Amino acid sequence: MCDTCGCGMPSHEHAHEYESDHDGHVIELEMNVLAKNDVYAAANREHLASRGAVAINMISSPGAGKTTLLQQSLNQLKDWRPLAVVEGDLQTDNDARRIQGVGVPVHQINTNNGCHLDAHMVGHAYEHLSLATGSLVFIENVGNLVCPAGFDLGENATVVLLSVTEGDDKPAKYPVAFVNAQVMVITKTDLLPYVDFSMDRCKEFARAVNPDLEIIECSSRTGDGMDGWVAWVKRLANQVAS
Ligand SMILES: Nc1nc2c(ncn2[C@@H]2O[C@H](COP(=O)(O)OP(=O)(O)O)[C@@H](O)[C@H]2O)c(=O)[nH]1
Ligand SMILES: [Mg+2]
């Protein structure tokens, strides 16, 4: 079982699979789940590269504002490149319906209480989406700062979101998510006057675990900082294309 959050998923290190040998005996194989995931991640990378597509993996705690940020920014990116969204959730297609409302193709993955997306699930989503050449794909991971950070999805970049209502010490408490990300988006900055959140402290904690981390502050409510986020996305996509 997942020993990080007790979610019921197989251990992130090992799982057991069963196969029959030539004489029909059932044999137990210990698979390295992460190694298996890496094979699917490599296939996803090839799939994206063959279409000149770019994928961004978005991770955060539940409710940090991933879907809202997507709803706001997809509108600004719609005329720039073909877009697609992979939505990961434990249950429901609520977020997928929000993205559909913006008019962007979306595929929902329900993990049935699994705490993260893995590369195999994302590969299936790509098949369903039939990605157009040059697509920009956003993967909204399951809300969780721990388990998603351990699974390569074959993405071109990982974005970690942190809302100002969550506390400025999250990068120190959940370092792996911040170490593996290229950019941290500090969301809900419109709420700064109402919460004890020090922007300086948060950035210090984040840069202590990842000195190369880019940091963007934004509010999907007011639109402040949205241009910086959209510019980062375009820069990444252009870099991958060149
Ligand atoms: N005040 C404020 N609320 C926000 C902002 N972004 C998202 N929210 C709210 O935060 C809640 C969770 O947002 P959602 O996008 O569903 O988070 P997700 O679980 O990370 O996808 C919703 O009630 C949003 O309306 C923001 O920039 N400012
Ligand atoms: Mg969401």
pLDDT in tens, 184-223: 999 999 999 999 999 999 999 999 999 999 999 999 999 9
Nearest ligand for residue 222 CA: 1
Flag whether 31 is in a domain.
Answer: no
**How long is the chain?**
242
Of the candidates 140, 160, 138, the residue with the CA atom closest to the CA atom of residue 149: 160
- pLDDT: which is higher, 153 or 21: 153
Flag whether 179 is in a domain.
Answer: yes
Average pLDDT for 35-60: 97
> Does the model's pTM come out above 0.85?
yes
Average pLDDT for 90-111: 96
Flag whether 135 is in a domain.
Answer: yes
Of the candidates 86, 160, 93, the residue with the CA atom closest to the CA atom of residue 127: 86
Average pLDDT for 174-180: 96
- Looking at residue 31, its pLDDT comes to 60
Closest residue to atom 28 of ligand 1, CA basis: 188
Residue 67 in contact with ligand 1 by CB distance below 6 A: yes
| Torsion over CA: 180, 161, 92, 75 (sign) | negative
Nearest ligand for residue 159 CA: 1
What domain range includes position 102?
52-241
pLDDT-derived band at 242 (thresholds 50, 70, 90) equals confident
- Looking at residue 21, its pLDDT comes to 65
Flag whether 39 is in a domain.
Answer: no
Flag whether 37 is in a domain.
Answer: no
We report the CATH number of the domain holding residue 206 as: 3.40.50.300
- Looking at residue 22, its pLDDT comes to 66
CA of 13 from ligand 1 middle (Å) equals 33
pLDDT in tens, 38-47: 999 999 999 9
- Looking at residue 8, its pLDDT comes to 45
Q: Which residues, in sequence order, are CB contacts of 172 under 8 Å at separation 6+?
A: 205, 208, 209
- Looking at residue 7, its pLDDT comes to 46
Domain count, the chain: 1
pLDDT in tens, 129-172: 999 999 999 999 999 999 999 999 999 999 999 999 999 999 99
* Percent of the chain with pLDDT strictly greater than 70: 87
Flag whether 19 is in a domain.
Answer: no
155 φ, ψ (degrees, to nearest 5)? -75, 165
Residue 221 in contact with ligand 1 by CB distance below 6 A: yes
**Mean pLDDT computed over every residue of the chain:** 91
Flag whether 47 is in a domain.
Answer: no
Which residue's structure tokens are 């994302």? Answer: 122
Flag whether 231 is in a domain.
Answer: yes
